[in-house]
Structure 1
Amino acid sequence: MEQLLSPSNMSEESHKSHIRDSLDELRCHFTWELDIKDKHIHDLEIKISETEFRDPIYSIGMHNLLAYVRHLKEQQEEALQSLHEAEALIQSEQLSKRSLVTWGNCAWLHYHRGSLAEAQIYLDKVEKVCKEFSSPFRYRLECAEMDCEEGWALRKCGSQNYTRAMACFERALKVEPENPEYNAGYADVAYHLDYYDGNSLQPLKKAVSVKPEDPYLKVLLALKLQDLRKTDEAEKHIKEATLTISSQNNIFGYVAKFYRRKGCVEEALGFLKKALETKPSSPYLHFQIGLCHKTQFFQMKKATSRENRKRADQSCHLAICHFKKALELKPTYDRAYIDLAEVYAKNHQQKEAEDNFQEVLSMSNLGDYMQQEIHFRYGNFQQYYKKSEEAAITHYLKGLKIEVTSHYRDKLLKALEELAEGRKEDHVLESLSLLGFVYRLRGDTREAMSCYEKALRLTGAVNPEF
């Protein structure tokens, strides 16, 4: 027989339920439905801990996010300490609306710790500010500042949250179109979502115009201009940025990427080594250093002189070491597996290359753009190193069946077209079907129909896959 609740227990349960209902109304990390995979929690904590706080407002947001991540790891005392640090900054900056996120997180954390009285104290603080700004909600304030806070939280939690982050910054900009922070957030997310058509260029230019003192934005703009082959303008912004980033080593990785892509690998390594002095455990920096040595190795691989062959071997060794270090620090680093695999392949270590490709091919929850890239690069490996055109075709097709527009989609189409053209004599029916498929995806209906009609004349049927 169930034990009946006493009136006092019923009252306690009712109070707890009431507190919980109030908490659900808050806008904070506990209610934003941040998509953080369990396997990424440790990586995210390290990334936050290594972040250099540019200003107090940014610091408050990062302390709040760190508190939430530590809560997910069931480190409640450490989470509370992070929130206390955020509270101290709130008091020194005399913030009101932005305080709601920290107080909301405090209320939630105390609730999870079983401290209902403490949770109520923070709910009361939130309610007071909501009344001050005439909010129609008791514990919720709809405003641009809160949209911005939510946007940054989503931005920091991985690419699976970027689209929602952009929507948050968009809402904030509708209220204050010239606000530097809102423009910076929107441009930052736009850049990281811009896989193909340069849509982030104008947001980045706008952000730099309203926040010219921010070198990070200038570096992102330079990288996007470099993507679009506007080299003179890109150089102008990268040079302006490098004059002001001596104390912001987190930007050096992006600067190094610019110079590596430009072909100035030694200059890129100089920036990366400087950054690594203060962040020796940064997987991103080790990955970027690995890319520099990979570039040098690929350039020198065909060297004939004994000295250059020795330098090529050294670059190969360093590339492998830094990619491995990046993976040791961040075992979910998808691109590090791919680049490590390609170095092994170039160095005639096919088993090691295959093993690393299989690691990334077996990963779950990868974005569509990343999956396209993986199938293209693994297809290349099969075609040029394993000499298996059939396996290459399989992966090029898998990549193309992911229906997103990107640079890698174009590369997949070109690779499949060239492979089909080269196999026409020995595999005429398959080649015609593949070429028809390529033309159809490019929107060239006339050429696609021509290929399919030729295939039909040969067999009376076309592979339904195409």
Structure 2
Amino acid sequence: MHSYARKALENQLEVLDGLINSENPTPICEGSVEGRLPGKKSKTLASEGDTQQNVSNSALMNVMERIEKLQEESLRRLQSLESTVQDNTQAIRSATDSLEQLGKQVDDVTLHVDSLQSQVETLEKENAVLRESASLPKKMEPQNIAQQLHFSVDIVHRLGPRSADRHSSRRIIVQFLSRTHRDKIWKDARTSKLLKERKIQIFEDLTPETKDARNKLWPMVEQARKEGKRAGFRGACALIDVFSRASGLQLNLNKCELLPIKDCSSTSICNIPVKDSVTYLGIIINKNADSSAAQSQTTLEAKLGALQCHFTWDLDPSRSKLFCLRDMLKDIGTEEGNSWQGHIYNLQGYIHYQLGFTEDAQCFFSRAAEALHHMRNTGSDEGPWLVVNYGNLAWLHHQLGEQAESQTYLSKVDTLLKEYPSPSEDELHPEIYAEKAWTLMKFGRDKTLLAADYFERAIRMQPDIVEWQTSHVMALVKGCGHPDEPLEENILEKIKIAKEHDPDNLYLAALYLQERAKKGRKIEDEVRELAEKVLRKPPSSYSGIRPLLKLYRTYISKDEAIDLAEEALERQINPDKRHLKWCAAICYKRRIYSDKDNPLEPKKIDRAISLHKEVISLYPDSSVKVKIALANIYAKLNHGQDDADQIYQDLLETDLEPADRQILYNCYAKYLYFDRKESYKAIKYHMMAAEIPNQSGYRESSIRELKKIKGRRHYMCGEIDEFLAKLQD
């Protein structure tokens, strides 16, 4: 029981005892006999005792009632106290939970404060660098800039994936802390001779939105500059000064259109029409940037796709083929009087663009325009012979993101086609047919017959151009029949007629002698006479030296072919003799391969090896076949196996394109089979060559060799059968 309740109860009992004592006094007197004699009772005493008994019972009942009331009140007070205790307990628990939460919040705040402290320390360090950079002198020399770059450069890293071209580098982006350094470097880069010599460009890194805005505004800026105004960019905005007073130019209000930036209900203002979209230089401009760009891009791409130029002729060469073509075109030469000089430059421009050399591509396209104008010599600056060239330039500028320039050349193409329509409806202009045919001849035998057809169409519309007739015949020779089989009589007659019309073309003369020899005619004297003419001409792949040497090797003597090649090298004054050296290397190679019973003397073998090594260095990007030839020459020597193995292993470890890998696998398989006597490995490499889905003579050769090996009942006959069946499926 609670102490307060117990104290109250004790107080009530004391009151009760007092009441009982006051209502029932003691009846016995100390001096009476009755009182002193126990066991003696009188009637008087009994009567008083009854009365006292009744009084005591009544008092006890009252006391009991009061006690019950006190107990009830105590219980009520106890229940109230118990409720108070429970409330206090709950409040204590709630306070404890709040304290725990506050403790966690204090921990979080402590961590946050630590983080902020760390950031403050970092910022203080950066501020120290900035203060140090800001204290540098404003006038800075290049040497000081180089020494202080670590104060102003924040981040440097490369952009984008590595280019497939091994000679090009990835772009580098630099973020500066110091605007002073950045502006100084930016300004000096524009006039730096060192950067120009090394072909290094420095330009501002703009956001995609700013680039798009500048591309749209560039035609206006360019036009303003042509009109003698000062115009440039500031961010995504174009700033154009007012009309030059000296120019006297005025706006032609009859051609003006207004494009409102905000909603406008007017259809015209000051008699100038208000349009929802306007077209400027073929570029559609409206308030919806995405829609405008999409429409303009779609229109531009549709026009570009309809052009007749190298970018739309489905040439699709491999990278190794591009390098071979680049070297071949260089060997053709562009000496004065070459009727295909403009076409050579045009194709060189396309090849260099595909290889990633955009500046060289633009240079070649510009040379092509000059050469075509010079060769035609019509008195007109432009003509239909420029349609392909302008188409190439339109594509080049489009690929470089220079849409205004691209549109300019598209307009030039449209003008030329309208001014010089094709003589035959539904056909291309003969100038376009001729250049397209000449180009296709350089991209494989499968395109040569199509080239012959295009030449025939061009000649039908314009029959007076001799070089077209000559190239038409050469396309027929290259595309018809097998190289070792004689041509049909009608084609031979066409060669004869073309030779009569183009007597100075010694390449065609060599082809004519070759076809006559296939039919059993005696040509030795004519070949020797032709040799004197060829040796007097400047060396190039069009001079006829290569087919002439083939005539010597096939119908006269391989040794005389070597002597003729060496004589050509001695007569050549020009230091660029690489094509002649390649032709000479071929003569030595054929001599070593064919006459095993009559080997060359060591001095000439050394000459053959040195020529091949020199040719490899002169054609670093297109010399896979020359390296294979050198390996096979080593294989024919008594102590050259190790050198041959090393060359082949180096080539096998090189990342070659499928066509070159097919050549390598086929030649290496033959080397393994005939020189190393390793038939198992040879079969594997013939299979690897045949598996490459590139239709070529090397693939056919590997399939033939596999069939021959199977016919010899080799222990791998079953595997060869299974492979050939799978290959056929």
| Native 8 Å contact 1:148 1:169 kept in 2 | no
> 2:643 is aligned with what amino acid?
E
Verify: 1:356 aligned to 2:651, yes or no. no
Aligned residue for 1:104, secondary structure, equals helix
The 3 A distance-change label for structure 1 pair 437 and 205 is: farther
> 2:456 is aligned with what amino acid?
L
Aligned residue for 2:553, secondary structure, equals helix
Where in structure 2 are the equivalents of 1:81-160 lying within 5 Å? 81-89=366-374, 92-93=377-378, 96-109=383-396, 119-134=406-421, 142-156=428-442, 158-159=443-444
| Native 8 Å contact 1:376 1:399 kept in 2 | yes
* CA offset digits 1:240-273 (Å, max 9, x no partner): 6445433252221221122123462343234433
Where in structure 2 are the equivalents of 1:193-208 lying within 5 Å? 196=482, 201-202=487-488, 203=491, 205-208=493-496
Following superposition, the deviation at residue 27 of structure 1 comes to 1.3
TM value normalised by structure 2: 0.48
The 3 A distance-change label for structure 1 pair 84 and 131 is: closer
| Native 8 Å contact 2:391 2:413 kept in 1 | yes
The partner residue of 1:312 within 593, 601, 622 is 601
Determine the C-alpha separation between the residues in 2 that align with 1:240 and 1:366.
43
Aligned to 2:581: 286
> 1:207 is aligned with what amino acid?
I
Point out the more displaced range, 408-417 or 275-284.
408-417
| Native 8 Å contact 1:272 1:285 kept in 2 | yes
Verify: 1:393 aligned to 2:683, yes or no. yes
Aligned to 1:324: 613
Aligned residue for 1:66, secondary structure, equals helix
Aligned to 1:256: 549
Where in structure 2 are the equivalents of 1:58-77 lying within 5 Å? 58-71=340-353, 72-75=356-359
Following superposition, the deviation at residue 414 of structure 1 comes to 7.0
The 3 A distance-change label for structure 1 pair 199 and 230 is: closer
* CA offset digits 1:284-309 (Å, max 9, x no partner): 53333223333444578667xxxx8x
The 3 A distance-change label for structure 1 pair 80 and 147 is: closer
Where in structure 2 are the equivalents of 1:326-341 lying within 5 Å? 326-331=615-620, 332-341=622-631
Aligned residue for 1:379, secondary structure, equals helix
> 2:624 is aligned with what amino acid?
D
Following superposition, the deviation at residue 24 of structure 1 comes to 3.3
Aligned to 2:363: 78
| Native 8 Å contact 1:195 1:407 kept in 2 | no
What's the Cα RMSD here?
Answer: 4.6
Q: As a proportion of its length, which structure holds more helix?
A: 1
> Which blocks of at least 5 consecutive residues in structure 2 are unaligned?
1-208, 219-277, 286-295
Aligned residue for 1:98, secondary structure, equals helix
Verify: 1:14 aligned to 2:299, yes or no. no
> 2:332 is aligned with what amino acid?
T
Where in structure 2 are the equivalents of 1:42-61 lying within 5 Å? 43-53=324-334, 55=337, 57-61=339-343
The 3 A distance-change label for structure 1 pair 221 and 236 is: farther
Determine the C-alpha separation between the residues in 1 that align with 2:667 and 2:459.
43
Larger RCO of the pair (alpha carbons < 8 Å, separation 6+): 1
Verify: 1:23 aligned to 2:304, yes or no. yes
Following superposition, the deviation at residue 343 of structure 1 comes to 0.8
Aligned to 1:447: none
* CA offset digits 1:310-342 (Å, max 9, x no partner): x63222222221112222222332321221111
Where in structure 2 are the equivalents of 1:437-448 lying within 5 Å? none
Determine the C-alpha separation between the residues in 2 that align with 1:409 and 1:39.
18
Aligned residue for 2:601, secondary structure, equals helix
Determine the C-alpha separation between the residues in 2 that align with 1:419 and 1:100.
55
Following superposition, the deviation at residue 376 of structure 1 comes to 5.0
> 2:367 is aligned with what amino acid?
S
> Which blocks of at least 5 consecutive residues in structure 1 are unaligned?
442-462
Following superposition, the deviation at residue 73 of structure 1 comes to 0.8
Point out the more displaced range, 117-126 or 163-172.
117-126
> 2:413 is aligned with what amino acid?
V
Where in structure 2 are the equivalents of 1:155-194 lying within 5 Å? 155-156=441-442, 158-159=443-444, 162-174=445-457, 176=459, 180-192=466-478
Following superposition, the deviation at residue 92 of structure 1 comes to 1.9
> 1:163 is aligned with what amino acid?
D
Following superposition, the deviation at residue 149 of structure 1 comes to 0.5
Determine the C-alpha separation between the residues in 1 that align with 2:452 and 2:663.
28
| Native 8 Å contact 1:165 1:189 kept in 2 | yes
> 2:619 is aligned with what amino acid?
K
The 3 A distance-change label for structure 1 pair 30 and 400 is: closer
The 3 A distance-change label for structure 1 pair 204 and 328 is: farther
Q: As a proportion of its length, which structure holds more strand?
A: 2
Point out the more displaced range, 409-418 or 77-86.
409-418
Determine the C-alpha separation between the residues in 1 that align with 2:414 and 2:607.
57
| Native 8 Å contact 2:448 2:479 kept in 1 | no
| Native 8 Å contact 2:452 2:476 kept in 1 | no
> 1:24 is aligned with what amino acid?
G
Aligned to 1:450: none
Q: Give the share of equivalent positions with the same residue, in percent.
A: 22
| Native 8 Å contact 1:52 1:248 kept in 2 | no
| Native 8 Å contact 2:433 2:455 kept in 1 | yes
Following superposition, the deviation at residue 345 of structure 1 comes to 0.9
Determine the C-alpha separation between the residues in 2 that align with 1:383 and 1:115.
56
TM value normalised by structure 1: 0.71
Following superposition, the deviation at residue 170 of structure 1 comes to 0.9
Aligned to 2:55: none
Q: How many residues align?
A: 422
Determine the C-alpha separation between the residues in 2 that align with 1:141 and 1:109.
26
Following superposition, the deviation at residue 89 of structure 1 comes to 1.4
Following superposition, the deviation at residue 346 of structure 1 comes to 1.3
